[in-house]
Amino acid sequence: MRELRYNPLTGQWIMVSAVREHRPWRPRDFCPFCPGSEETGYGWEVLILPNRFPMLDFKAKKPQNGRFYKKARAIGQCSVIVETPEHDLRDLDELSHEQVIKVVELWKNVTMELKNNPHVAYLAIFRNKGEEIGVSLTHPHGQLYALPFIPLKARLKIKNSRNYYKRFGECLFCRILREETQSERIIYENDNFVLFMPFFANWPFEVHIYPKRHVQRLMQLKESEIEDLADILRVATATLNALFERQMPYVMNIFQAPFKGQYNFYHLHIEFYPMLRDRDKMKYAAGIELGTWEFTYDGVPEENAQKLKEACRKITKRIGAKGKCF
C-alpha cells in the first residue's frame, strides 16, 4: 500500500508506504552501493539508483477517497545518489574536489531531467549523515524525492520571499546574503558562494550556503559555479567534522524553485542541520519544537559562529579550499 494522505489542519501531504517497514539496518556483510553489487556494476564514479523501499512511485495506483479525508496517488520518484565507489569514506570533505564536482553535476542533470516530467512539482535533494538520525547504510550517499506537491516549508519560503519582493522590489535571499556577509556570522566564501550561520539559526551549528548570483535552480549554474559549489560543500562538511574533532551527524537540504510556475523572486540555497550541540551532546527537537514547530536556541549564534570559523581555519589548507575563512 502506497498513498498520500492530506492533513487539512496544516495543508500537508503525508507519504504513506508499507514497503518502508522492510528497510535493512546497517548490514555488516554486504553493501548494495559498493561496485560489483547487483544494482551498481562496475566502472562508475557517481551513480543514481532507484530506492528499493520508496515512498513514491510513478506506477502508484490511485487510492479511493472517503467522505471526508482526502487521499492522492503517491506518484513520484525516490532515488539514492551514490557519491563515490569508495565505501569507507565518511563525508563529502573526504571526497576529492573533482569527485564532488561530479556529484553536483549529477544533481544538476537530474534536475534538468525531472523538470520536464508533468507529474513532478518539486525536487527535494538531501543528504542524511550519521546513525544518530537513522541512516541505515554507511556508504557515502544522498537522496532525492521527486514530489507531486510542494512541501510546506518550501511553500512558506516562497510565500514570504514573494511578499518581500512585492513590497521592496528585491530578492529576500539576496538581502539576507548582503546582511550576513557584513556580519560576524559569515564563515567562508569563494568567488561564487558564501557559507554562514544565519541570524535565525534553529540548530546550534546550523549553516547555510547561498550562491552570490541570483539563480533559482541547480541547472542554471555555470561551470565555474559548479566547481565553487563543490569547494564550499567540502569546506562546510570539513568544518562541521573539525568542530568537535569527530564526525558530525547532520541533515542537508537543497532548496530549489518548484518546477511549475515562475519564481524569479526565489533563490537557490542549501541548509545544514547539525545534530550536536557539544562533542557528546545531541540537540533534540523536543516538546516546544515538535509541538509548535518553533525552535529554541541554547546559546548565542554569534558565539557558535566563532567556533565554526576557528574550525574552518584548521581545515582549509588540508582540503585545498579555493576561498577564504573569516
Show which residues are catalytic: 141
Nearest to 241 by CA among 81, 94, 85, 86: 94
DSSP characters over 145-172: EEESS--HHHHHHHHHHHHHHHHHSS-H
AA letter at 295: F
- Contacts for 15-19: CB closer than 8 Å, 24+ residues apart: 15/55, 15/56, 15/74, 16/55, 16/74, 17/53, 17/54, 17/55, 17/56, 17/74, 19/53, 19/54
In degrees rounded to 5, what are phi and psi of residue 122?
A: -150, 140
Instruction: For residue 324, give the C-alpha cell.
Output: 577564504
